[in-house]
Amino acid sequence: MAIEYPSDPAFMRWVLERLEKGKLVAMIEITKKAGSAPRGPGTKMFVDEDGNTFGTIGGGDFERKVVEEAKKAIEARKPMERKVAMFRENLYEDVIATEQLCGGVVTVFIDVLKPLQRLVLIGAGHVARPLAKLGKMLNYRVIVVDNFPQYANKDKIPEADEIYASSDIISELDKIKLDKNDFVVIVHGDGALEAEVLKKIFRGNVFPRYLGLLAGGGKLAYILKALLESGIDPNVIRNKLISPIGLSVGSETPEEIAIAVMAEILKIDRGTQGVHENRVPEILDQLLKGGGKDEQK
């Protein structure tokens, strides 16, 4: 089934069903055609993170190669452009070869459609409240889990999209069904309870994309000891748990800590290094040497 127009309700349903389940979807669109090729500009198809497809851009080895590139884009969570040849010999630079015999070259743009990311806050105290505000501002779906309903409620945290609160926090955690794309921040404050929450997460079938724990050295040592004594693999702990949390910017107040934590989450979500890029010296030197450009970018 070829998709020609973005308003096609069939593809919209297909994409939305997957995004609502927290899955990434790559949209492939032919943007340019030089010479003979099965389909022209505007043709679209979709690939989800499990490799399922909807639509076609022409089939054959051409489509198979492009679908593989779409999977790479999903893995990197970044868009990409590719040129694909409908022949095998005399290839241009940066052009992907195929077994097709049409003779043309097709340019495809692959965009990655992301579901609304979930920010799961374990705890509803002083740090959780500014985290919820910032998370909402950054378009995350904010979920709060706590064992004190008097703190975890809409009056205290109006930005929360979902709140799960009862004396049995482990049962509440079961209700949200953690996903591999989730960002989980543990800011409860009770070390023993946080250790139980972490045991539950480490023993689960799905591990979140980010797992951070707000803790000083003493509490962190206590929790790590509890995890080791419960049989959690130390290598898994080492590779999955982050503590202390947040970029190192000298944060002290709950609001400052929340900013540092959300900056760290954004860095991971965007796949960047999170360094300060000051280009003033570089461009200033170019101008002083007479080699700079005055055009605005």
Give the mean pLDDT of the chain: 89
Q: In angstroms, rounded to a whole number, what is the distance separating the alpha carbons of residues 48 and 25?
A: 4
Residue scoring higher pLDDT (135 or 78): 135
Please check the confidence at residue 57 and state whether its pLDDT lies above 50. yes
Q: In angstroms, rounded to a whole number, what is the distance separating the alpha carbons of residues 146 and 11?
A: 39
pLDDT in tens, 251-294: 999 999 999 999 999 999 888 888 888 889 888 899 999 865 55
SS3 71: helix
> Model pTM?
0.75
Which residues is 285 bridged to in the sheet?
Answer: none
- CA distances for 210 relative to 113, 115, 228, angstroms: 20, 16, 20
SS3 228: helix
Tokens 């929790």, residue located: 223
Q: Where, residue-wise, is CATH 3.40.50.720 in the chain?
A: 118-270
Structural tokens at position 228: 């080791």
Q: Which pLDDT score is estimated for 2? A: 43
Q: Average of pLDDT values for 23-40?
A: 86
Helix (H), strand (E) at residue 143: strand 141-146
Please check the confidence at residue 112 and state whether its pLDDT lies above 70. yes
Helices and strands in the chain, H and E counts: 9, 12
DSSP string for residues in 153-220:
STTT-TT-SEEEESS-HHHHHHHH---TT-EEEE----HHHHHHHHHHHHTSSS--SEEEE---HHHH
Contact 214, 245 (CB under 8 A): yes
Report the CATH number of the 118-270 domain.
3.40.50.720
Q: Which pLDDT score is estimated for 176? A: 92
Structural tokens at position 286: 């170019």
Structural tokens at position 47: 């690939």
pLDDT in tens, 208-244: 999 999 999 999 999 999 999 999 999 999 999 999 9
Which residues, at least 6 apart from 269, have a Cβ–Cβ distance to it below 8 Å? 117, 183
CB-side exposure of 202: number of CA atoms within 13 Å? 24
Q: In angstroms, rounded to a whole number, what is the distance separating the alpha carbons of residues 2 and 181?
A: 30
